Structures are given as C-alpha cells and as structure tokens.
Chain A
Amino acid sequence: MKKVLGGNDAVSQAVSVCDVEVISAYPITPQTSIIEKIADLIYAKQINAQFIKVESEHSAMAACIGASIAGSRTFTATSSQGLLLMHEVLHWASGARLPIVLANANRAIAPGWNIWAEATDSLSQRDTGWVQLYAANSQEVYDFIIMAFAVAERALFPVMVCLDGFLLTHTKEPVEILEHETVKQLLPKIKRDTLDPANPKAYGALAFPKDYYIIKKGQHLDMLKVLDIFDNVSLEFEKITNRHYNPVEVYPKPDSQYSIVALGTLSQTARLAVDNLRKDDIDVNLVKINMLRPFPQQLLKQLLSDKKLIVVFDRDISHGKSGIVKDEIAGGLDLCNVVGFVGGLGGDKITESTIANAFLDAKNAQIKGLFL
C-alpha cells in the first residue's frame, strides 16, 4: 500500500509497525512532528508503548538506555542541539551494547540559530559507536527505520537513522508502507542479557586497563560485523518488499572514470548532476553512502580505487579541516585523488548545476576553494 508521507511521518509510521515498547523523546525543530504523531498513535491505541516525556534530550537517551537494558525495544528522535546534548549518553548506549534506534533530523548547529538542513550534527557523532544510516528520500527513511531495529537487535548496537531537516523531514512523497504482521517476521523478539533480579549482575562496572581494552577491542570488531548483518537484514527485507539496500549504492553503474560521492538528500541533487554530466559525455557516476558507520571500506574501495578523480560533496564541516565525508573517503581509503566541496550549510541552496560546475572545476584542476 502507498501513502503520501513526509520524512517525519515515514519515521512515525515505521515506528508504529515495529512493536516498540518504550519511547522517550524531547521536541526540537524539525524533529517535533515525529513525536507528536507518535503521541497521537499511542493515544489512538495504534502503538502500544510507554512514552516517557522527559525534560531534555539527555534524559531521553538515558531513559532509552534504562528501558533497553531492562529488555524493551526502544526508540527516540532528535536533531542538532538535542543530539549534541546526548553526546555522553550516546557513548553509553553503544558501550552498553543497547539496540536503541534513534531518528535524527539533520539540522545546523548554533550559533547563529538555524533550523535548516546540515549534517554536521550526526557526522560529529560518528565516533560514538553508533551505526549510522543516511536516508535520501521518504521511502528510505521508512525502510531504514524498520531495518535499523533488525540490525540493532542482531548486532547489539544502537542505530541512528539520519534524514535532512525540512528537505526530507517535511517533503511529502509516496511511500510504500508495510503491514504490521509483515514487519514482525523481520523483527522476532531476540533474547539478550538484561536486568533480572534472579541474576544479580553488574553492568558497566569499573574496568582496569586490561579489561577495558578487551571490551573496547571487542566493540570495534563486533561493529565491523554489522556490515554483514546489514546485508543479511537487507536480503530478508528484500524478500518481503522487493526493495534492496546496500551500505553504499552506485548510480548508474560502477564502471566510470570519475565519481561523485555524497550522502543524504545531497546525493539526490548529485544524481541529477550526474545525469546532466553524462549527457555531456562525461564519464562520471554517483556513489551514495547509506551507511557511514561501520565504514563500508571494502565496498568503497571496490567502487572508488580505480577512479581518475573522486569529488565529494559535504553539507557539513569539520572546522579547520574539510567536509567530514570527504575526510572519511580520503582517509578511510588512503586516496590522494579526492577533492571535496562544502556547501548548503544551514539549508543554503545547492542545485544540480552547482554540483556539476564544481565537479568540472575539480576535473579541470581549477578549484578555487573548499566552499561551493
């Protein structure tokens, strides 16, 4: 069945078919309509969950941590300042290996106050040990939320699904939605180690260097396994939906002299730019990143190591360095032929011709600077 949904509605609708038991969240533009809709759905008895209406995002994540260690499927949503406020407890959630799912509406970071799209908020949390998925349209948002629960519970890691503020959260598109019963197949209840008075254990106790090292090394190695877990979930998901997702997608085909790389809605704009460039016989493709953590290194290497030039577009920035995705690609793949452009910060407009022109500048070695 198809429904016309904005990205935020897609999140709430997806949550409503996932048997989430505890939700805790705090409002922030442009995430707010996600939790308003969830409150309505709970009130209408279409979601059977406890909704803890906390006094901050920090407590929202803390409450999810509590609910998750007690054994419940949990969800929260936030954006920008809210996600940043959670920073310490994001680490706690992943360190405690809790399968929490979070939707983040990507938004700029103050000062100056700005509620529009930018991915610096979630990209700056890439080292918190969360799986990160970036959606480019409402269908992906809907699908990624459902897949996120499956990945989280099989991998025992929290998963963050990111969607660009307004550009995606508030743009309506037709979305193929799933029946509750169908989703249940993908999300069986998996038994895990949770608080139980019959088994008086301590979780997260004092760890001296040797134990600490074992814990953190294990966390890293397990995180790398998420790539396979994602593939398995994706195959199962395809069986019920006919839609398939890879951690990285390529358009229109892998084989090309040049690549443009982007994530989120910026990849949609880049796709149009690729179409236009190809019309002019320029042999370029788009590499769209769906998963940034764990870093799909092998896949990206396969797709990018033979290119003459790779141009990465970022709607985010690491001040004093570059766009964050550019840094990930160049550093993560040990490549020197990567050029990065930063643009669209705080919702500033980027069109397909901005991207195409910047690509041509890079190709012709006429780069004037980092910023579009």
Chain B
Amino acid sequence: MKISKDEIALPNNLACPGCGASLAMRLALKALGRNTVLVIPACCWTIINGPVGKNYAGVPVFHTAFETTAAVASGIKASFKMQGKDSINVVGWAGDGGTFDIGLQALSGAAERNDDIIYVCYDNEAYMNTGIQRSSATPYFAQTTTTPEGKDRPKKDLMAILAAHYVPYIASVSLAYPQDFTKKFEKAKSIRGFKFIHIFVPCPPGQKFLEDKTIEVAKLAVETGVFPLYEIIDGKYVLSKKPKFTDITEYLKLQGRYKNLTQENIEFLRQSIQKKWEYLNKRFNE
C-alpha cells in the first residue's frame, strides 16, 4: 500500500504538539485526495483548522453545528448528485463527542438512509475542545474533569451500533498502522453508500502523556487489544491485525488519566478486553 506524497493538509496548523487528530487528517487526506470536501462540527478541529481566512485542511471545509455533521454531509452529497458532481468525496470529520453523543441521531439517520458519504470519527476519548470532559467514548476508569473519580461506565460500542444499520463499510484504524489506515480510507472511497471510519487518536494534554509518545500510545492501544483494528464489510466482520495482547499496564502507565487505577481496576480491564475479544472473535469466525 503506497502512501501518497501529496501533502494536502498544510503545516503549522493550530493543534497542540503531538496531536493525533492533526496527524489523522494529514494521513486521511493523502488517501482521500484533493477531490474532497469536509464537514467539521464543533471539536478540536474547529480550532486546528485556523481562524477566518485560514484553512489548514487544504480542501474545502464547511464548519457546522456540533450535532449536524452527518445531515449536512448528506445534504452536500444530494446537491453534488443533482449537479453531476458525484465523484467528490463528501467527508464528515467529527470528534467522539460529535459522533458518539450529540451527533448520534443524525449519524444514525444518514447511516440508515445509506447516504453516500464517508463519516470519520477521530476519537480522543473525551471532549477536548471544552477542556477534557467525559463522553460516551471515554473508557472505564479514565479521569476527566467531569469524572474526577474515573469513569464508572464502559466506552460505547459504536462500531456495533453502526453495524446494526446494515451499512456497506465500517472500519477502525490507528495512526500507528498507516498502511492499514490508508488502505481502509481508499476502500471507503471506492464504495457507494454509507462508510464509517473510527480512528483512535492519542491526545497528549487530554489523555495526559508526553507529546513525543503519540505513536507509542496509538500502537499500544492496538497491541494490548484495547482498540481492535477490523472492518465490517456488508455485515461481515474482518480482523485487520491480531494483537500481541501486550499487558494493559504498558498502555495505562503512559497516561496520566489512568494514574489512580487500583490493581482491582486493572484486573477488571484485563477481563473486559478478554470479553470484548471473545465477542469479536465469534464474529470474525462467522
């Protein structure tokens, strides 16, 4: 899988150093190409893309209300269809808050209609733009400013929710595996109908780790089995990368948001990973 040399996203955007969401855009656009328009709701990318007059994404961006990404993208696609500009990739680019929470209804609507858009969720596992509050994508025990005691509920399984919409393509990707990342974006581009791509993005200030550890955190999320890489193609689950199942402590100890975990908590997480993989393996083998 060749990664394009074309740098579409521009340098010096307003992201924090080590921002996974910034790198995710750079990689995604290399696969999507310049014949792309983006819909971006309220999220860190509202800031990253720069103020009036700037557009660090390098392709047209429509900034929109927090919960409207999927519906706006559907509208753009319908318009392009009427104008015979069907070949333009219409891409929703939203955070976990805009996807798992406030935008879920519009997302479900677009998925159920099988609208021909690519919806990308860059998931940094909290509302970072407003200063690190929990979302339903925040994992168990992670500390945020609204869960000072650590979150008491698991991360929502959005991939399964989308699978329940019978859409043609769903995939999870990681910054630590750029070939796999690129392959999946290119596949999404080639399929008609609704496509969903879930990117786990490390966020140094939000998840509390050093800014040179972005790729390491991304890699460990996959290797520990915390963030499985797979596709759901027309309902069929396909494993992309079997993890080594490195012990979760390697992943947790890098991140300040997990600093208060007890041995009991860690054991609980080990078991949840096991359960998750039992559930997924059943589907991979179907």
A residues whose Cβ falls under 8 Å from a Cβ of B? 21-22, 24, 49-50, 52-56, 58-60, 62-72, 74, 88-89, 92, 195-197, 199-208, 211, 215
Contacts and interface: CB of A to CB of B under 8 A. Distances in A.
B73 interface: yes
A206 B54 CA distance: 9
Contacts of A67: 75-76, 78-79
A70 B79 contact: yes
Interface stretch (B29-37, B185-193, B241-249): B29-37
21 contacts: A50-B81, A55-B108, A56-B106, A59-B106, A63-B75, A64-B75, A66-B71, A66-B74, A70-B76, A74-B75, A74-B79, A88-B65, A195-B62, A195-B76, A196-B60, A197-B60, A200-B58, A203-B60, A203-B62, A204-B63, A205-B49
Nearest to B36: A197
A22 B82 contact: yes
In the A-B complex, the 7 residue pairs with the closest CB atoms: A66-B75, A55-B109, A70-B79, A62-B71, A63-B75, A59-B71, A204-B63
Contact of B51 (A56, A68, A200, A211): A211
Given A55-B109, A206-B51, A21 B82 contact: yes
A66 B72 contact: yes
Size class of the contact patch on chain B: 35 or more
A347 to B, nearest CB: 31
B95 to A, nearest CB: 16
Contacts of B106: 54-56, 58-59, 62
Given A70-B79, A199-B60, A63 B72 contact: yes
Contacts of B35: 197
B262 interface: no
A62 B75 contact: yes
B88 interface: yes
Contacts, number: 166
A71 B109 contact: no
B55 interface: yes
Nearest to A59: B71
Contacts of B64: 62, 65, 92, 204
Nearest to A64: B75
A202 B79 contact: no
A66 B73 contact: yes
Given A202-B54, A205-B52, A62 B68 contact: yes
Given A24-B75, A59-B109, A204-B63, A72 B52 contact: no
A92 B65 contact: yes
A69 B62 contact: yes
A202 B109 contact: no
Interface in B28-70: 34-37, 39, 46-47, 49-55, 57-65, 67-68, 70
Contacts of B77: 66
Contacts of B73: 66
A71 B63 contact: no
Interface string B75-94: 11111111100001000000
